[in-house]
Amino acid sequence: MKIIIPRIIISKLFEHSLLEDPDECCGLLLGNDEKVIEIRNLNNVHDNPMTRYEIDNKDLMKAQKYCDNNNMDILGVYHSHTHSQAYPSPTDIGKAREIKDFFDPYYILISLIEKTRPIIRGYKIDLDSVTEIIVEHDGEAYISPTMNF
Ligand SMILES: [Zn+2]
Residue 145 amino acid letter: P
Taking the CA atoms of 98, 75, 22 and 86 in sequence, report the sign of the dihedral they define: positive
Could you count the other beta carbons within 10 Å of the beta carbon of residue 111? 19
pTM (two decimals): 0.92
Q: Distance, CA 141 to ligand 1 centroid (Å)?
A: 28
Q: What is the pLDDT along the chain (149 residues), one digit of tens a residue?
A: 999 999 999 999 999 999 999 999 999 999 999 999 999 999 999 999 999 999 999 999 999 999 999 999 999 999 999 999 999 999 999 999 999 999 999 999 999 999 999 999 999 999 999 999 999 998 776 666 676 66
Q: Distance, CA 53 to ligand 1 centroid (Å)?
A: 7
Using an 8 Å Cβ cutoff, are 73 and 104 in contact?
A: no
All domains of the chain in start order, with CATH: 2-136 (3.40.140.10)
- Helix, strand, or coil (residue 147): coil
Q: Distance, CA 38 to ligand 1 centroid (Å)?
A: 22
Q: Distance, CA 62 to ligand 1 centroid (Å)?
A: 23
Q: Distance, CA 93 to ligand 1 centroid (Å)?
A: 9
